Chain A
């Protein structure tokens, strides 16, 4: 056990702080997605407005984490694994912030949709939301546990979400053709579906970053089926 100097203790404390903030941001983002979707399914506009208001917290954390990372890079010159952690954190942080914004988009569409009667009962959308949230959660789990298997699992789910997104669009298209009065509402729903799909893309990116952080291998521009 090497003797820890004052500086190295301080350094580790800063690293821990960053990790904690990142996870907290992740938790907030997970909550935002869950609430945004629930506000739609339960037609609860107050909840949706809470999601929109809470995004400030996510944005504040985003800035805080980025600042802390840059400070650490500048002052401590981390090496090897720490360096990979910091660079990964900067990127994951960006993805989380974007996911937060997409959740806000969903909440905004939910507020609009709650004003008008439903087009149809939601079937695929909740499923899609569940899988998407699962992806975000598991991508963060894989980050915490530095678990490549889980990260790979996240990548494979992305395709399911893509398919659901297309299916929702096709289904809504039939409604729109049948009854043009539904077009406005149907478009709002397709936007929500699109937002979920983009959240899942961000989750997949996080999973790829994790694989990079753990193995040092870059899988960013490869499909899940391709070997490493």
Chain B
């Protein structure tokens, strides 16, 4: 209530009106009283003069009585010593000395005296007027007239009633006027206040409708203008912010922005994924609190010391660690004392793996080539040092040299296939091919080896197996590689079986199962990698290049198919070659 403009203005009006009315009332009453008194005084003076002129001591008593009644005054006659000689109301003997009364004193000095005071005798405000009675220059006594101011009191009372009445009328009127006036003045201001309040709360406001042409109207129009301007700017800022945020959150790289106290201020979705933390787990914390990663903290400390951008590779994550390329740099264009730090995290795990594979590949190729070469060179040296003369030994050596040279040759062939497949330069001549035919073609190649180890090959391919679209030679190679592996890794007297399965889902597959040594589960995903061998020594003994399954994988991909491997250690392995069915009528 106190801080309400309406009550302030209205209250001020009412107070001013009241003060004015009271002031007028008081002033008028006072003026009227003074005038009245002056009139009474003048009247009394006249009486006193008359009395003092026709004064005779003998008949004084009688005269006073009569004059008193006539002039409606109390008349007292006092001698020069102040002793009352006669009085129109009282017994003279009861009255005390009057010489010290103010009116007498004044009369003695100035020739006329007056005083208004409360008369104990009359019980009312009384006007006293005294004149000296002179005989020559000598004062013989005083005549004093007193009139109770009943008249004045009555008059004052009347006036007060009158003023009060007018107060009520004028008060009510001015109250009404003040109310209307204040309302008209304050209501637009209140409206504007409500409007800005709604605006602040973000409610839909429209615009202010104040028709007045004065300052309030102009103010309202200005507010409308500002609001429109502001809305436009906010919308613009929102749009810009939205764009930036969209870019920020859809970035592949994780981003952390640290404030001056190294607490994470902002982050994006990628960073959350990298650290597997939600928003609450990161924002407002230091990186040490949130991630407790030593390498990251060390990099950050180093950055804090030098203030120069730096990049580091760090590893995060407990299971399946991820390699991150971290770049720490200052956020540009901020004022001193508000420096922020930006950490960009790029997941280079995949890159690192690829790099590792490449490094391994080079090492492997070198190793694979080096081994037969060393053997060849060794045997040649032995031959030159004299073994050539022992015919039988020399023959054996030459056979070994040939074996190794052939292995080298196979390796180079395989590498060429792989390289072509990877570069996409392999030429395929696709046609409708029956997988059954392919298997029939491959079996004679593999059978001698199988017979040697006493391995039984069961061909259970159904006669009416659907055809696929493929390159006859490449399919040949696929099946040969898989069958070769099956025979190689199956101990003597084992079984290799081939069956055709129609997946009924648009795919058909050839399943080649063996009763071999099997592959540990965790090794299976790596089988397609080049030179990856489960048991390195054994595989090499068996004459593998380490590229067989890798080639199969590439060739299967070229046929829109894939290879699936199931295995149990000690029980055997099943390789499924899954092809899409060739629907001749569609392509025809």
Contact = CB atoms under 8 A, between A and B. Distances in A.
Contacts of B292: 23, 26-27, 30, 137, 140
Interface of B: 261, 281, 285-286, 288-290, 292-294, 297, 318
Contacts of A23: 286, 288-289, 292
A155 interface: no
Closest 10 CB pairs of A and B: A27-B292, A144-B289, A23-B288, A27-B294, A31-B294, A20-B288, A23-B289, A23-B292, A26-B292, A28-B294
A34 interface: yes
Residue from B281, B288, B292, B294 with most neighbouring chain A CB atoms (10 Å): B292
Given A34-B318, A133-B318, A24 B289 contact: no
Contacts, number: 28
Given A20-B286, A30-B292, A144-B289, 7 more contacts: A20-B288, A23-B288, A23-B289, A26-B292, A27-B288, A140-B292, A145-B281
B283 to A, nearest CB: 12
Nearest to B286: A20
A28 B286 CA distance: 16
Interface residues of A, number: 16
A27 B292 CA distance: 5
Is the contact region of chain A dominated by helix, strand, or loop, or is it mixed? helix
Interface in A139-162: 140, 144-145
Residue of B281, B289, B293 with highest tally of chain A CB at under 10 A: B289
A137 B316 CA distance: 14
Nearest to A134: B318
27 contacts: A16-B261, A19-B289, A20-B286, A20-B288, A23-B286, A23-B288, A23-B289, A23-B292, A24-B288, A24-B294, A24-B297, A26-B292, A27-B288, A27-B292, A27-B293, A27-B294, A27-B297, A28-B294, A30-B292, A31-B294, A34-B318, A133-B318, A137-B292, A140-B292, A144-B285, A144-B290, A145-B281
Contacts of B261: 16
Nearest to B261: A16
Interface in A106-139: 133, 137
A190 B587 CA distance: 68
A133 B292 CA distance: 13
Nearest to A28: B294
A167 B525 CA distance: 32
Nearest to A141: B292
Contacts of A16: 261
Interface in A198-228: none
A16 B285 CA distance: 12
Nearest to A133: B318
A133 B261 CA distance: 29
Nearest to B296: A27
Contacts of B318: 34, 133
Interface string A5-45: 00000000000100110011011101100100000000000
A34 B294 CA distance: 13
